[in-house]
C-alpha cells in the first residue's frame, strides 16, 4: 500500500496518492506558492524567445 507524501499515513483510493483532501490541498498549495519547482532549460542567450506573438503565428 502506498503512503501519503505529505503526512506518511496510508493513502486511500478517493484521494490517491494522498490520505485525505487536506493533504491534497497542502500539496496543491505548495505548487501554487512555488515551493515545488520543475526544473527547465536555461534561456538560450544567442536565440532568446520571441516577444512578438503576432509574428510567431504568421500574422503581421
pLDDT at 55: 58
Number of H helices, E strands in the chain: 2, 0
pLDDT tens by residue, 29-40: 999 998 988 887
CB count within 10 Å of CB 15 equals 15
For residues 21 and 12, what is the distance between their CA atoms, to the nearest angstrom?
Answer: 10
**Spatial distance between the Cα atoms of 48 and 26, rounded to a whole number of angstroms:** 36
CATH architecture of 1-37: 2-Layer Sandwich (3.30)
The reply to whether the predicted model has a pTM over 0.85 is no
What are the residue ranges spanned by the domains of the chain? 1-37
Region for 8 from its dihedrals, namely left if φ exceeds 0, alpha if ψ lies in -120 to 50, beta otherwise: left
Residue 35 has a CB neighbour count (10 Å cut-off) of: 9
Instruction: Give tens-digit pLDDT for 1-58.
Output: 799 999 999 999 999 999 999 999 999 999 999 898 888 776 666 666 667 666 556 5
Amino acid at each position: 500500500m502506498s503512503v501519503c507524501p505529505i503526512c506518511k499515513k496510508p493513502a486511500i483510493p478517493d484521494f490517491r496518492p494522498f490520505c485525505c483532501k487536506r493533504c491534497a490541498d497542502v500539496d496543491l498549495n505548495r505548487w501554487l506558492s512555488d515551493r515545488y519547482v520543475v526544473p527547465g532549460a536555461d534561456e538560450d542567450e544567442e536565440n532568446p524567445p520571441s516577444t512578438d506573438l503576432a509574428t510567431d503565428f504568421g500574422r503581421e
